Every structure is written in structure tokens, then in C-alpha cells.
């Protein structure tokens, strides 16, 4: 949950800046406005001349009309008075006045005139482009706390948000399980993704509330609402403080079973949060964020520097490095550019991408191996669907070990190698996989989408994406049983592990290792400490018998309420 000042990013990534400017810069702001109007006027004039020459005067007249709209005396006066008398920023003034004209035109019965709304929006966009031209980078250079409102944020844009100033964000499109949401969780930024259209109702600078629990964005809250949320924020804080007291205590169930709670991280700096939340290690280090922040492919040195920082900070505790797990969506690449990658989730991603780009894969693996000399590093291959893929990846690793040995570079010869169980095919073959790895980790985000055939970022089908679907529970059950038969440790990462609703169920299914975002760790620990394995097993048995996700959900909610009533349900 967050309360703060809105900062609006439009469809093309323009920032609509704050609403007001200080009195002493009004004159310079007006000059800036005039310069922008002149520049746009020159552009339109050039278009008019070019079109007149090519197609004739009548067509050029369309642009002549645009030019007249731009220099419209009433418009000029309205813009000026907003800036001069109300101290609005030129951007805000333009956006407000033009939107109003566009709306009036749209409301007219006469179709031909209503279509002029397009012209108005076109002029608005051009003016904003000139006004904001130099300022597009400002999102990464914030100086005051804001709540970012955008049509869409890519995972890399999200990764670059500064958690110090970005109190939260809301996007119009995107799905709950999407990577933007995962990155937001990692940064501990309250976020609501894919709420639908709302940007036409905000201009930036006003107060907004993000209610993450209800998935609601509240624009222009009244005094009473605001007070209510301030109070709730206070309650959240005091509950968080209580959880902090758990930090030193083990994640032990009432009947004495030790649960290993590790942390999921994306950035080296999160290691501090892992330590302070009392994590038993890092169960999932998502390395691809090194690739997202940079313009070029990171060098071995850059990988090594990041990895060694994490490994050294964790000391004896394990750090599981998941190798590159990029897909077209995370790369921010347009999948339409490549005919073959129209279906990125079934395309060249993750381990497939690594095995196809061996130099890139080797660079990363060498850095992980070198870091293994400094602490307890482990390597984990994502999206393994077949045994040959695993064997090929292990072979690349073995070759690199030989190289390093020859070069006399230190590394851990017995580094543990594991795979993520994310593809149903790997679950079916779990007994065979378990013989060839040192550990397995269930990645529920992908496992759910592949099992249920749902693109979690497609809001048309997002509601079919259910972690509590009995088919998913059976897949987890099969994996855990298979790993147990081979005496291979099994853990679970992915968002399912961090939702307190599922904790009892997962323990009941036999999991003793959960990897969760550092922020969620104390809460999950509290549940572990409030229940017995016997109770959990009973819940799991009942859930496995059910035939739909809704029944499972209501069972889990009920049990959570019974055993850990103080947990705030989301």
C-alpha cells in the first residue's frame, strides 16, 4: 500500500510532469511554452508545404487548419493564464487544455467535427514531445517521492525504478504473474499491474493511493479515505515490526520440523535484506537482471563482481545461481520482429537460448565457477524440458572446469548442480532427472502457465492462471515424491511460495525448502512456526482430492484464518 503524488508516464513513455511550477520560473516556463509552439508550428508548416506541392493546395489546407489550431488565440490565452495565474507547468497546461478540447469535439453529434479530436491529440502529442524532449530520462533521476502511473512498464524499466523515490506504480496493462510484477516484488515496490484504462483521468501531481491488498488505485481520495489509509499504513508498519522480531528464530514447525527458508533476489544489494530477514541462504538468484540493465552483453568480470559480492556476503550459506532465464518478453524485444518468435513462451528462451549461444553461456558459467571459490555457490539450469538439455548444460560446465583447472583459477570442484522444474515434461521424468542432479527447485510461475496453457500476462485469460489448481498441486506432489525417492533435496521458488495462503499446503505436500522474496520471509516463517506438519499433511490430502481451484482456495483461506489469523490476507 502506498500514498503519494502521481507521476504519469504516457503511452510513448513520456513523463507528464508535476502539475505546478514555482512563481519565480513562470516567465521562463512561458518562454519554453512559446518555443515549443513555434517549433511545432514550423513542423506543421513544413508538412503543409510538402503536401501542397505533392498533392495540391486542398490537401495542404488540412495542415493550414492544424496551424491555425496551434496558434488559436483562445488556446494561447488559456495556456498562458494557466501557467501565469495558476502556476501550472506548461506540460500540464497543454495536456489539460487540449484534452478538454478533444473531449468537447468527441461529444459533438457531427461526425466530421468529432474527428477533429484526433487533430487536437496530435497537436498535443507534438507539443509534449517538444516540451519534454530533453527530459525523458527523468524517471531514473527522481528527487522526490512519487507514485508512477503508466500505460505499461517493461520489466527493465521497472528494474530501473529507484525504490528510494518510487513509492509504488500502477499500469493499465500487464498480468499478475508477469515479470513486471515479479520485479516490483523484488524491489519491494507496491504495484498494481493491468488495472485497465485510467490514465485519461489523471494529469500528474495529484494525490493517489495504491491499495495492493484490494488491487485498487484510488484517484483524488477524499479526506476520510485518506485518513483510513494512513491508519492502515500504520498498522502494516507495526505488524512488520512484530515480524522482525522473528528474525533470529528458526523456521521450525510446532512439531519440530526444520524448514529451510531461503530468499529470491535479483540484485546484489538485496543480499542485505536477506541477511536481515534471517534467510537460510539464497534459493534463487535471478541473474538475468545483469543483462537487462546494460546496453551491451555483460563481461565475465561484471558477472564475477556481482556474484562474488553475493557469495561472500552470505558466507557459509548457499547461493543458488540460476543461469540466464531470458525470454523475448524480458529482453524488451519485440517478438513480432522475428517471425519464429511469435510465441515467446514456447520459443527460444532460457536454457534453450543459452545452449544456442554458447559464448554467452560460458561467460556466465565461468563467473559462477570463479565465485564458487569464495563461498557456497550452486548452479541451477532453468526451463529444462529434456534430459539431453541437462546433459549438454552439464557438459559445458565440465569443460569450463577443465579450462579453469588448466589456467590455475580456483573454483569449487564439487559445486552442486540442479535444475528448475518448470515444464510438465520434467515432472513426468522426475525419477530420471533426480539421478543426474544434486537438487531440484520447482519454479511454479512457469510450471503453472505450461500446465494450464495460460499466458499469465494476457488479461483475457489471466484468471485461468491458478496456483491452486489441483493439476498444479499434483505436479508438485509428483516432483516432491520423485525427489524424495532419489534422496535429492527439493525446494520451491516462484510466487506461490511467498503467498502465506499456500504455506501449509506446500509443507503438507512434503516440501521442506521454500525460497521467497526477502520481504515475504518473516511472514512465511511466522506461519511455519504456527503449524504442525500433521495439520499441513491433512490440508494437502484434502486439497489433492479436490477437483477445482476455487474449492482449494476456500479451504486454504479457511485454514490460514484458523492457524494464523493475524496474517493479512491478500
Partner 1 sequence: MSQSVARRTVTVTNEQGLHARPAYLLASMAKEFDAKIEVVTDNERVDVTSILSTLTLGAEKGTELQLEAIGPDAVAALKALAELFEQGFPGGEKAQTTEQN
Chain residues binding partner 1 by CB under 8 A are 57-58, 61-62, 64-65, 68-69, 72-75, 101, 104-105, 108-110, 112-113, 116, 119-120
CB of 26 to partner 1, least distance (A): 24
C-alpha cell at 264: 529470491
Closest listed residue to residue 122, CA positions, set 104, 136, 101: 101
Q: Which is nearer to partner 1, 32 or 116 (CB)?
A: 116
Distance CA 74, CA 56 (A): 30
Distance CA 299, CA 69 (A): 53
CB of 63 to partner 1, least distance (A): 10
CB of 45 to partner 1, least distance (A): 14
CB of 46 to partner 1, least distance (A): 18
CB of 59 to partner 1, least distance (A): 11
Q: Which is nearer to partner 1, 58 or 460 (CB)?
A: 58
Cβ-proximal residues to 18 (8 Å cutoff; 6+ apart), any chain: 5, 7, 89, 92, 204, 205
CB of 47 to partner 1, least distance (A): 15
CB of 49 to partner 1, least distance (A): 16
How far does Cα 371 stand from its chain's mean position?
27
Q: Which is nearer to partner 1, 111 or 565 (CB)?
A: 111
C-alpha cell at 22: 514555482
Q: Which is nearer to partner 1, 68 or 276 (CB)?
A: 68
CB of 89 to partner 1, least distance (A): 21
Owner of C-alpha cell 524485444: 333
Q: Which is nearer to partner 1, 51 or 440 (CB)?
A: 51
Q: Are 499 and 468 in contact (CB under 8 A)?
A: no
Annotated catalytic residues are: 179, 493
Distance CA 396, CA 401 (A): 9
Q: Which is nearer to partner 1, 58 or 134 (CB)?
A: 58
CB atoms within 10 A of CB 132: 20
Per the document, the length of the chain is 570
Distance CA 491, CA 514 (A): 5
Q: Which is nearer to partner 1, 65 or 348 (CB)?
A: 65
Q: How far is CA 76 from CA 34, 38, 65, 90, in A?
A: 9, 12, 16, 11
Closest listed residue to residue 159, CA positions, set 288, 282, 284, 263: 288
C-alpha cell at 119: 487533430
Q: How far is CA 384 from CA 204, 424, 441, 446, 568, in A?
A: 45, 10, 11, 11, 36
Element (H, E) at 26: helix 26-55
CB of 27 to partner 1, least distance (A): 25
Cβ-proximal residues to 174 (8 Å cutoff; 6+ apart), any chain: 152, 153, 180, 181, 193, 194, 457, 459
Q: Which is nearer to partner 1, 102 or 331 (CB)?
A: 102
Closest listed residue to residue 286, CA positions, set 426, 439, 179: 179
Q: Which is nearer to partner 1, 58 or 296 (CB)?
A: 58
At 87, give phi and psi (nearest 5°): 55, 40
At 15, give phi and psi (nearest 5°): -90, 130
CB of 123 to partner 1, least distance (A): 10
Closest listed residue to residue 318, CA positions, set 242, 210, 418, 397: 418
CB of 55 to partner 1, least distance (A): 14
Cβ-proximal residues to 199 (8 Å cutoff; 6+ apart), any chain: 8, 10, 149, 150, 151, 172
At 492, give phi and psi (nearest 5°): -135, 125
Q: Which is nearer to partner 1, 90 or 283 (CB)?
A: 90
Distance CA 231, CA 57 (A): 65
Q: Which is nearer to partner 1, 57 or 463 (CB)?
A: 57
- DSSP string spanning 61-80? HHHHHHHHHHT-HHHHHHHH
Q: Are 12 and 133 in contact (CB under 8 A)?
A: no
Distance CA 488, CA 482 (A): 9
Q: How far is CA 398 from CA 408, 435, 566, in A?
A: 15, 17, 49
Amino acid at each position: 500500500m502506498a500514498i503519494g503524488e502521481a507521476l504519469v508516464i504516457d503511452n510513448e513513455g513520456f513523463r507528464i510532469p508535476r502539475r505546478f511550477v514555482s512563481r519565480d520560473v513562470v516567465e521562463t516556463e512561458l518562454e519554453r511554452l512559446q518555443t515549443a509552439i513555434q517549433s511545432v508550428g514550423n513542423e506543421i508548416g513544413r508538412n503543409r508545404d510538402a503536401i501542397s506541392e505533392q498533392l495540391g493546395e486542398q490537401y495542404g489546407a488540412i495542415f493550414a487548419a492544424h496551424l491555425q489550431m496551434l496558434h488559436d488565440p483562445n488556446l494561447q490565452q488559456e495556456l498562458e493564464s494557466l501557467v501565469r495565474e495558476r502556476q501550472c507547468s506548461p506540460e500540464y497546461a497543454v495536456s489539460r487544455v487540449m484534452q478538454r478540447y478533444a473531449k468537447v469535439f468527441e461529444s459533438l453529434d457531427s461526425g466530421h467535427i468529432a474527428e477533429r479530436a484526433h487533430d487536437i491529440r496530435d497537436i498535443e502529442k507534438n507539443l509534449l514531445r517538444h516540451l519534454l524532449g530533453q527530459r525523458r530520462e527523468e524517471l531514473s533521476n527522481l528527487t522526490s517521492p512519487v507514485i508512477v502511473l503508466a500505460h505499461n512498464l517493461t520489466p527493465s524499466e521497472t528494474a530501473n525504478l529507484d525504490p528510494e523515490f518510487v513509492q509504488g506504480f500502477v499500469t493499465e496493462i500487464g498480468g499478475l504473474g508477469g515479470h513486471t510484477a515479479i520485479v516490483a516484488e523484488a524491489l519491494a515496490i507496491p504495484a498494481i499491474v493491468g488495472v485497465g484504462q485510467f490514465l485519461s483521468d489523471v494529469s500528474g501531481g495529484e494525490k493517489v493511493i495504491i491499495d495492493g491488498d484490494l488491487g485498487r488505485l484510488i484517484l483524488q481520495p477524499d479526506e476520510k479515505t485518506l485518513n483510513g489509509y494512513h491508519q492502515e499504513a500504520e498498522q502494516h508498519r507495526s505488524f512488520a515490526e512484530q515480524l522482525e522480531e522473528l528474525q533470529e528464530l528458526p523456521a521450525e514447525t510446532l512439531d519440530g520440523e526444520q524448514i529451510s527458508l531461503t530468499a529470491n533476489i535479483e540484485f546484489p544489494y538485496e543480499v542485505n535484506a536477506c541477511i536481515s530477514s534471517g534467510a537460510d541462504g539464497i534459493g534463487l538468484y535471478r541473474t538475468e537482471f545483469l543483462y537487462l540493465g546494460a546496453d551491451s552483453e555483460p563481461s565475465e568480470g561484471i558477472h564475477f563482481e556481482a556474484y562474488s559480492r553475493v557469495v561472500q556476503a552470505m558466507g557459509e550459506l548457499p547461493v543458488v545461481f540460476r543461469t540466464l532465464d531470458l525470454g523475448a518478453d524480458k529482453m524488451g524485444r519485440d517478438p513480432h520482429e522475428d517471425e519464429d518468435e511469435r510465441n515467446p513462451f514456447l520459443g527460444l528462451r532460457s536454457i534453450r537460448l543459452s545452449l544456442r549461444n554458447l559464448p554467452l553461456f560460458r561467460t556466465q558459467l565461468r563467473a559462477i565457477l570463479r565465485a564458487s571459490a569464495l563461498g557456497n555457490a550452486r548452479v541451477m539450469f532453468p526451463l529444462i524440458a529434456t534430459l539431453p538439455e541437462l546433459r549438454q548444460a552439464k557438459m559445458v560446465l565440465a569443460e569450463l572446469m577443465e579450462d579453469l583447472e588448466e589456467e590455475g583459477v580456483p573454483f569449487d570442484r564439487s559445486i552442486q548442480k540442479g535444475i528448475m522444474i518448470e515444464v510438465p515434461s520434467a515432472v513426468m521424468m522426475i525419477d530420471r532427472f533426480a539421478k543426474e542432479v544434486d537438487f531440484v527447485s520447482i519454479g511454479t510461475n512457469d510450471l503453472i502457465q505450461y500446465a494450464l496453457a495460460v499466458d499469465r500476462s494476457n488479461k483475457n485469460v489471466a484468471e485461468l492462471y491458478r496456483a491452486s489448481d489441483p493439476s498444479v498441486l499434483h505436479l508438485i506432489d509428483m516432483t516432491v515424491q520423485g525427489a524424495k525417492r532419489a534422496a535429492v533435496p527439493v525446494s520451491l521458488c516462484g510466487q506461490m511460495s511467498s503467498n502465506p495462503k499456500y504455506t501449509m499446503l506446500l509443507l503438507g505436500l512434503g516440501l521442506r525448502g521454500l525460497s521467497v522474496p526477502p520481504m515475504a520471509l518473516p511472514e512465511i516463517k511466522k506461519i511455519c512456526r504456527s503449524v504442525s506438519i500433521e495439520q499441513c499433511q491433512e490440508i494437502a490430502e484434502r486439497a489433492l482430492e479436490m477437483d477445482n481451484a476455487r474449492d482449494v482456495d476456500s479451504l486454504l483461506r479457511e485454514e490460514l484464518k484458523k492457524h494464523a489469523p493475524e496474517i493479512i490476507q491478500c
